[in-house]
Amino acid sequence: MNNSAGAFVQGAEAYGRFLEVFIDGHWWVVGDALENVGKTTKRLGANAYPYLYGGGAGLRGSSPASSGLATPTKEITSRFRD
């Protein structure tokens, strides 16, 4: 040990670097989580209240009967017999 007088200072520096990475990593994770919560909330709001987010029907295409996109070609019982 050539520089034993600096052992405490080196330990404090190492602890400071560890603490900095630890806190920075937690802020990163919390920031990402809050961003995802915000995006999800906006999507749910747009589906629940479409007139607040630019109009249009909420959950478009969710019901083929109302949208008219899908029409059955066979009876239900014959679908499973084929």
* Three-state secondary structure string covering 5-59: HHHHHHHHHHHHHHHHHHHHHHHHHHHHHHHHHHHHHHHHHHHHCHHHHCCCCCC
Q: What is the pLDDT of residue 33?
A: 93
Q: What is the pLDDT of residues 14-66, one digit of tens each?
A: 999 999 999 988 898 999 999 999 998 888 888 788 777 776 555 555 555 55
Q: What pLDDT does residue 82 have?
A: 57
For the entire predicted model, the pTM comes to 0.44
Residue 74: what are its φ and ψ, rounded to 5°? -130, 160
Query: Look-up: residue for tokens 């994770």?
Result: 29
